[in-house]
Amino acid sequence: MKETISCKEVMRYICECLAKDTSSERCLALKDHLDNCEDCREYFKSVKLTIDCYQKYNVELPENVHKKLMDFLKLDD
Amino acid sequence: MKEEKREKPGNENSLAASNVPSDEEKLIELAKKGDKKALTQLVKNYEQTIYNFSFKICRDRDKAENIMQETFYSMIKHLNQFDSKSKLSTWLYRIVANHCLMQVRKEKHRQFVSIDNDETLFEEKYTADYSRLPTKYTENEELKKILDDAISKLSPDYRMIFLLRDIEGLSTEETAEASELSISAVKSRLHRARAFLRNEITRAFAK
């Protein structure tokens, strides 16, 4: 029988289904649910956006910090 | 004085996603024998990612710098114990994760939100207009502050899992190995961390 899931379960299983394994029965059921539930679609989108924000927030290694690292480790650049 | 910038960081520079040279094993073998050039190359291959990851845990550049130094010091000291059964990157993530957690635990005054048994995480249905995010949104100082504030409330144990899995792109198995947790513990912490951060950010945007 085809698996169905509730809105609350959608929130729990997003964890697994944002990963690459989208062919599992549960992920297919989640996708099915999202196709028919606007609230959950918005929730899913907001979780993905949250991750996206953090992925794009990076800091660059300054040259002086690199040099200090090489000195600390007694390595020649 | 304006700081000179090194190569541009980004998710493409994460250890999991980095384009590791095919001769990494040779570099490791040479480094184990004391070859300083090989050792220097290994450090250079991973310094940007280790610095960036440390910053994301500690949210402080000075602490990130110290943690990066300690991480590579540990790598050099214990390189002979690395048996190549796992990726060098996963092994390095385990080292840097331990140093980050030690650093955060020193700061005993810090209070974090407990989400161990917080069922309300999955009850919230805040709606916010995410379209308000500026196009180059991570260059927006206001958004950076929101992201910093939200993740700073999260216990480092959860922060670590979110960053390893979602931001650095490790698999669930690699995240479990780097954090020395079970796969089910990783999954549980990950979905709580995601829900918490999502709720915090949504709240901030709804204001």
Domains, chain B:
12-106 (1.10.1740.10), 120-206 (1.10.10.10)
Task: DSSP letter for B3, please.
Answer: P
- Taking alpha carbons only, the member of B114, B6, B200, B118 closest to residue A54 is B200
User: Does residue A33 belong to any structural domain of this protein?
Assistant: yes
User: What's the pLDDT at A40?
Assistant: 83
Using one digit for the tens of pLDDT, what is the confidence trace for B96-141?
Answer: 999 998 988 887 777 777 777 666 666 656 566 666 665 555 557 8
Biggest alpha carbon distance in chain B?
58
Asked if B138 reaches chain A (Cβ–Cβ under 8 Å), the answer is yes
User: Does residue A46 belong to any structural domain of this protein?
Assistant: yes
What is the total residue count of chain B? 207
User: What's the pLDDT at B41?
Assistant: 96
Q: Give the C-alpha distances (Å, rounded to integers) separating B120 from A15, B13, B72, B204.
A: 17, 35, 41, 17
Q: What is the percent of chain B where pLDDT is above 70?
A: 76
User: Does residue A1 belong to any structural domain of this protein?
Assistant: no
User: Does residue A49 belong to any structural domain of this protein?
Assistant: yes
User: What's the pLDDT at A17?
Assistant: 67
d(CA B75, CA B91): 9
Is the CB of A60 less than 8 angstroms away from the CB of B167? Answer: no
Report residue B3's pLDDT band, with 50, 70 and 90 as the boundaries. very low
Q: In the predicted model, what is the mean pLDDT of residues B39-66?
A: 94
d(CA B185, CA A58): 27
Cβ contact A36:A7 at 8 Å: no
User: Does residue A12 belong to any structural domain of this protein?
Assistant: yes
Q: In the predicted model, what is the mean pLDDT of residues B168-196?
A: 91
Number of domains within chain A = 1
Report residue B8's pLDDT band, with 50, 70 and 90 as the boundaries. very low
Is the CB of A15 less than 8 angstroms away from the CB of B143? Answer: no
User: What's the pLDDT at B90?
Assistant: 93
User: Does residue A2 belong to any structural domain of this protein?
Assistant: no
Residue type, B35: D
**Domain around A65:** 7-73
The answer to whether ipTM exceeds 0.90 is no
Asked if B3 reaches chain A (Cβ–Cβ under 8 Å), the answer is yes
